[in-house]
Amino acid sequence: MDEALSLLRQDQWRLIDQSTTGILMPAIQSFAIDDTLCASVGAHLSPATARTWVHRDTVVLGIQDTKLPYLVEGLEFLRARGYTPIVRNSGGLAVVLDEGVLNISLVFPEKERGIDINRGYDAMWMLIREMFADFGKDIEAREIVGSYCPGSYDLSIGGKKFAGISQRRLRRGVAVQIYLSVENSGGKRAELIRDFYSHALKGERSKFVFPEVQPGVMASLSELFETPLAVQDIMLRLMLSLKRNGGLLYSGQLTPYEHELLPGYLSRIAERNAPLTKP
């Protein structure tokens, strides 16, 4: 855990807050921005960067989800419910984004000996535990069976998942990404993904394993802490934790160099999403 803590203790943190300004931005742009940040931070042209982002009703699919036997029917179901489906450029399975879900990306440079994958996950877990330490609840990192996009670093309280962590590695940069279910019902989000798989599988067996989603094992932080929390409340907690762990914390935006890189990464993820576009 000491090595994970050292990742959080950067000489400076640049914070790019798109939790409000990015709401109207297409979600594929967020994944392109994180790739851009990996390239610039990995090349030591930018400092370690924390980026926060929120998107309106979107279901982010993993690459494996595109192998569903009745994917078209599943996508039609999501669109009929008012959600925009996209495919991210990394692993994992379907997750829900909406205005009550805060995404945090921590982008680090790979040093000479690299960053072990678990070290990146542990750093994010430690950050989240510190952010909510005052509630006095144990935040565990373990797979929650029955959740959507299950993984060994599901974050949960009392067996109910409120967050999932993923990683993206590119050009000696590492982006550790987490979605935090902050407001409203975590179970309702799980019902959406459960019904998506029902439409996209139609009971067929598949060579890929998809989760049997059980809404009762997922919740939001507001539900788990029995306290109304908003995305902006979490932003304040994040800033305070980064300030405690790092040196200089400053608000920033993409640099001119990053703006030059962004269109290339955006075109790559747009190509991946072209098959999902409605005719």
Query: Facing residues of 16 across strands?
Result: 51
As a dihedral over the C-alpha atoms of residue 61, residue 102, residue 167, residue 237, rounded to 10 degrees, the angle is -170
Cβ–Cβ < 8 Å for 120, 128:
no
Q: Is 38 a catalytic residue?
A: no
DSSP alpha helix (H) spans, the chain: 2-8, 27-42, 71-80, 117-131, 186-201, 221-225, 231-245, 256-273
Catalytic residue, chosen from 28, 144, 149, 180, is: 149
Q: In terms of Cα–Cα distance, which of 89, 163, 238 is closest to 153?
A: 163
DSSP string, 126-193: HHHHHHTGGG----EES--TTSSS--TT-EEETTEEEEEEEEEEETTEEEEEEEEE-SS-HHHHHHHH
Distance from C-alpha of 208 to C-alpha of 214, rounded to nearest angstrom: 19
From CA 142, how far away is CA 153, in angstroms rounded?
5
CA distance from start to end of the chain:
49
* Residues marked as catalytic: 149
